[in-house]
Amino acid sequence: MGNAILALAGRVSASIIGQCAAADLPLNCETAFTDSTNTSVASFGNVTFGSFEADPDIAGIGTISSFVASTALFLFIAVSIVLSRIICLGGDIAKKDPSRPAFASLPIPRPRPEEYRTGWIENRIIDPIINPFREYWASRSHSRGEYTQTYSDNAHLSRQQPGMDHDMIQIQPYPYPPKFTSSISEPPYNPLDKGGDALSASEPANFTPDRDEDTEFVLEPLTSYEKRMLEKSYDIYDILEAALFCISDNQILLSLAFSISFFVKGTAKCILSQYHLKIALNLWLGSAINGVLTFSVVRRYFESPLAGLLRFLALGVSLVLSSGGPLLLELNSGFASETMPSKDRHNSQIFLNVLCFMDPSFLQDVVADQINNHAVIGQSTTNPEASQDFASWISILVIGGLVVIGRFLHRVIRITRRGHYIEDENDRNKMDLYYWAFLFLVWLFAAAGFSYRTWLIFHIRRWVEQSGWLSDQLAEYRLDTFGQFASVMFMVAIAQAMADELVPKVEKAK
């Protein structure tokens, strides 16, 4: 498998180099010195001292600032959701009064109790394979004529008819049984009572389950203030989820746009420097871990099966193409450039063309011929698999795989327990708590990676600015290109996505 991937990378690099040669843009990967002492560099490839061209669309202050600011906002929102879920679940486990939710008087972000439909993937793939109890409990429910109890915004008790192609799953917002009042003379028969039978002859004659207006859902013993706080908590949670979706989608799509422009036919890659690729690669690695966190945290990820599938595929393609493509090409070449040039010198091979580090044919020019010049131009590594970029990419792939498995297993456990397989309330809460504690560890990894990559991006930009190789030292500090404006305006899209969730839920239901 590994040899096949490297062989494919070799064909891709050969094709790209051939495109540049056909466009009369042959690659020059040699380092030239001003004299025989090799103490002063005259050129890196076709770039002479003071003629290195900036690329504001990639390394411009607008592009980098928008990615850094949006990622910082993303991580703050993600940890708010994760910690709120851990706090609420921990409170539910520790509390002594089962009649009220934990911290009901605090506006902690928490998911809105709603009717949830399992997605196509869960119904058609996950359940039949991993959840053998599903068919048993479904047949038992149909034979007993049970109703499915759901909580909606108008707080009515509804009935689920059998024979649908999906499951209605009850998401319990509170750990205690609801109470019911009725406007008719006799209390309504509750088919969900333990031991009750919906088809039993003991059902009251005046019970009309289709008359929802005669049945009122009462939450007790919550006070009106606690109810308002819970409603505010639900609204905050929806707004935060919308922001996570928007940030992740925009970053993933921008990374895909860059990858497509690099790998399709064109001459842009023939003049792209290793420095600019390093800036872009660190941005895309950050967007990839954000996409993994979105997949794990947002409960509505597959609410729309088509949108969820497209979003999941975009994340996978971004991981393989945007982040993995350049790294696999470097792995195929057998060498990679230094990560961060030393501040004690002003020369580095990161000014060479990016393709010089993507084909083994350039090993002699880039590495072998410069073995005695490391003090002047830096040292390229001959172990690209040990570079921090490659290690970060592999870590994201491993964590992403664990998150995918964890999310689907967590969903299976939730579905199974609603089939009454797990009866103890504390056991259910503990399972949820373990899942969210694992997500907190994922968040810590994302936060550490974001801090390091942000430091690296700004330090390498400052080094290049002070090196004297740039033809215009202020070019990447001016907000005057389309790519930078597009990145900055994407911040406005985040505010719009959050504002969409401010619509009252009753109005939204219409």
Q: Which of 218, 247, 276 is the last residue of a domain?
A: 218
**CB distance 323 to 316 below 8 Å:** no
Tell me how many domains the chain contains: 2
The answer on 385 and 334 residing in a single domain is: yes
The answer on 256 and 118 residing in a single domain is: no
Q: What burial class does residue 477 get, using C-beta atoms within 10 Å of its C-beta: 0-12 exposed, 13-18 middle, 19+ buried?
A: middle
Query: Could you give the CA distance from residue 251 to residue 70 in angstroms, rounded to a whole number?
Result: 9
Query: Could you give the CA distance from residue 75 to residue 442 in angstroms, rounded to a whole number?
Result: 11
Asked if residue 90 belongs to a domain, the reply is: no
> Looking at residues 22-48, what average pLDDT do you find?
86
The answer on 391 and 263 residing in a single domain is: yes
Joined tokens for residue 56: 């504001």
List, in sequence order, the alpha helices (H) in 23-60.
Answer: 56-59
Would strands 47-48 and 41-44 be described as parallel, antiparallel, or unpaired? antiparallel
**CB distance 349 to 52 below 8 Å:** no
**CB distance 157 to 181 below 8 Å:** no
For residue 244, what pLDDT is reported?
Answer: 93
Query: Could you give the CA distance from residue 19 to residue 15 in angstroms, rounded to a whole number?
Result: 6
Query: Could you give the CA distance from residue 133 to residue 136 in angstroms, rounded to a whole number?
Result: 5
Range(s) of the domain holding residue 360: 30-42+59-81+229-509
Rounded to 5 degrees, φ, ψ at 178 are: -70, 160
For residue 20, what pLDDT is reported?
Answer: 81
Asked if residue 351 belongs to a domain, the reply is: yes
Predicted confidence band of residue 152 (pLDDT cuts 50, 70, 90): very low
Which tens digit of pLDDT belongs to each residue from 325-342?
888 888 888 888 888 888
State yes or no: pLDDT of 212 exceeds 50.
no
Contacts of 139 (CB under 8 A, 6+ apart): none
The answer on 253 and 127 residing in a single domain is: no
List, in sequence order, the alpha helices (H) in 188-321.
Answer: 224-263, 274-297, 305-317
The answer on 406 and 279 residing in a single domain is: yes
List, in sequence order, the alpha helices (H) in 52-110.
Answer: 56-59, 61-94
**CB distance 16 to 269 below 8 Å:** yes
Question: Helices 388-418 and 324-333 meet at what angle, rounded to 10?
Answer: 140
Which tens digit of pLDDT belongs to each residue from 59-98?
999 999 999 999 999 999 999 999 988 888 777 776 655 5
Asked if residue 91 belongs to a domain, the reply is: no
For residue 359, what pLDDT is reported?
Answer: 86
3-class DSSP state of 38: coil
Highest mean pLDDT among 225-234, 255-264, 326-335: 326-335
Residue 233 one-letter amino acid: S
The answer on 65 and 159 residing in a single domain is: no
**CB distance 344 to 9 below 8 Å:** no
Asked if residue 162 belongs to a domain, the reply is: yes
Query: Could you give the CA distance from residue 327 to residue 13 in angstroms, rounded to a whole number?
Result: 12
The answer on 383 and 410 residing in a single domain is: yes
The size of the chain, in residues, is 510
Predicted confidence band of residue 1 (pLDDT cuts 50, 70, 90): low
**CB distance 460 to 275 below 8 Å:** yes
Top-confidence residue, 473 or 252 = 252
The answer on 283 and 198 residing in a single domain is: no
Asked if residue 392 belongs to a domain, the reply is: yes
Query: Could you give the CA distance from residue 386 to residue 498 in angstroms, rounded to a whole number?
Result: 41
Cis-peptide into 107, omega within 30 deg = no
Predicted confidence band of residue 121 (pLDDT cuts 50, 70, 90): low
Percent pLDDT > 90 in the chain is 23
The answer on 194 and 294 residing in a single domain is: no
Q: Which of 218, 245, 275 is the last residue of a domain?
A: 218
Q: What burial class does residue 231 get, using C-beta atoms within 10 Å of its C-beta: 0-12 exposed, 13-18 middle, 19+ buried?
A: middle
Asked if residue 73 belongs to a domain, the reply is: yes
State yes or no: pLDDT of 175 exceeds 50.
no
The answer on 183 and 74 residing in a single domain is: no
Top-confidence residue, 218 or 350 = 350
Asked if residue 9 belongs to a domain, the reply is: no
Residue 226 one-letter amino acid: E
Identify the CA nearest to 37 among candidates 465, 372, 481, 491. 372
> Looking at residues 475-503, what average pLDDT do you find?
85
Joined tokens for residue 164: 């649908």
31-33 sheet: strands from edge to edge: 31-33, 41-44, 47-48
Chain centroid to CA 422: 30
Asked if residue 103 belongs to a domain, the reply is: no
State yes or no: pLDDT of 181 exceeds 80.
no
The answer on 395 and 259 residing in a single domain is: yes
Question: Can you say whether the dihedral through the CA atoms of 456, 462, 465, 466 is positive or negative?
Answer: negative
Neighbouring-strand partners of residue 216:
181
Alpha-carbon distance values, 447 to 251, 391, 409, 490 (Å): 16, 16, 25, 22
pTM confidence score: 0.75
The answer on 75 and 122 residing in a single domain is: no
**CB distance 327 to 380 below 8 Å:** no
Q: How many CB atoms lie within 10 A of CB 99?
A: 12
Which tens digit of pLDDT belongs to each residue from 342-379?
888 889 999 999 988 988 888 888 888 888 888 889 88
Alpha-carbon distance values, 206 to 94, 144, 209, 211, 355 (Å): 42, 21, 10, 11, 80
Joined tokens for residue 463: 């080094």
